[in-house]
A = this chain, B = another copy of it.
């Protein structure tokens, strides 16, 4: 390159900008459903058709975009699928939820954790505790009750899998009569699921850990499957487990933000 010292920084900036414009064209095509005419794509990204056409030529060259011979429309190509598949394969609920755990701990001073469905039941994989934590005997690696913990109930309400129902049936069969009496007599598990679904989160008060209340909301992956549950807990009395309370609202919002990081399309 023969730019002089004066123009080199601008050229470098321009090169990065060009890459960004190329990505904006790619994202614009995705936003328009993966298929668009040059005119509508140019209007969407706010650039001239001539300029967008040059970027599309690059995207076609790299296999990310193809052009329909008949309609002349541009559409996302096979390389775009491969990039998406790689992104989905390495999308990690723990990484996606980490900032949420930190924010919940700092803003609400609550103990919070992320649980996934392990082979023994809902299992804590990441936990954050405030400076003055409540004393709970759960930590990363702990397997929680499907039926009596907030985390388990969130899986039960939002993850329609036979193993989830089987764990809940086991918990129900093993429960003493006074604990069973907390649930609906006719359809204990079905009614619980409907309540969780209606609230958009699961809440418990002293049902699993004595003196502890908790609120849990699901994380969804790109396929709309529940891949993890985000839970906040605290000492009953100093912790509001109401489904419309400050904590439940924050947990639901953080779970939704993490789901977006995992590729869930906003409804």
Contacts and interface: CB of A to CB of B under 8 A. Distances in A.
A49 interface: no
Q: Copy number of this protein in the oligomer?
A: 2
Contact of A58 (B20, B27, B80): B20
Q: Which among A58, A83, A95, A222 has the highest number of chain B CB atoms within 10 Å? A: A83
B89 A59 contact: no
A34 B78 CA distance: 16
Contact of A83 (B21, B76, B261): B76
Chain A facing B: main interface SS = helix
B34 A86 contact: yes
Interface string A61-100: 1111000100000011111111111111111000100000
Contacts of A80: 83-84, 86-87
Contacts of A81: 84, 87-88, 91, 222, 262-263
Contact of A84 (B58, B88, B90): B88
User: Interface extent on A, as a size class?
Assistant: 35 or more
A126 B90 CA distance: 37
Given A16-B55, A20-B61, A62-B23, A30 B87 contact: yes
A17 B260 CA distance: 32
B19 A83 contact: no
B84 A262 contact: no
B262 A16 contact: no
Interface in A211-267: 222, 260-263, 265
A24 interface: yes
B86 A33 contact: yes
